Amino acid sequence: AQSVTQLGSHVSVSEGALVLLRCNYSSSVPPYLFWYVQYPNQGLQLLLKYTTGATLVKGINGFEAEFKKSETSFHLTKPSAHMSDAAEYFCAVRLSNFGNEKLTFGTGTRLTIIP
């Protein structure tokens, strides 16, 4: 079984400030972890993913996330926020065992950028 907790349903940061969106997971086997972004009236777009290998993963638009097994976390960061980053962000987990295709999503974090 797997689950995801996203701390903070709404996060506001000033333009140019650090973005930190928190995600903690639980998983019965080693997880695959994902961050998706959803802009208004658009579909989910994959930002980045961790499957195996390097625990610090870089994604599109300057975002990155670090898999920390000891903390069961996969927090999303960006050094300097842009106005265009305003959107809803979803963390998701999937079990890595063969045949398990189900993504389990968190409830999302709405990111607002203050000019």
Contact 77, 63 (CB under 8 A): yes
Residue 22 found at the interface with another protein (CB under 8 A): no
- What is the distance between the alpha carbons of residues 84 and 79, in angstroms, rounded to a whole number? 14
Residue 44 found at the interface with another protein (CB under 8 A): yes
User: Up-side HSE of residue 53: CA atoms within 13 Å toward CB?
Assistant: 5
Smallest gap, in angstroms, from Cβ of residue 51 to another protein? 6
Q: What's at 112, amino acid-wise?
A: T
Smallest gap, in angstroms, from Cβ of residue 104 to another protein? 7
Residues that bind another protein (CB under 8 A): 4, 9, 32, 36, 41-46, 49, 51, 90, 92, 94, 99, 101-108
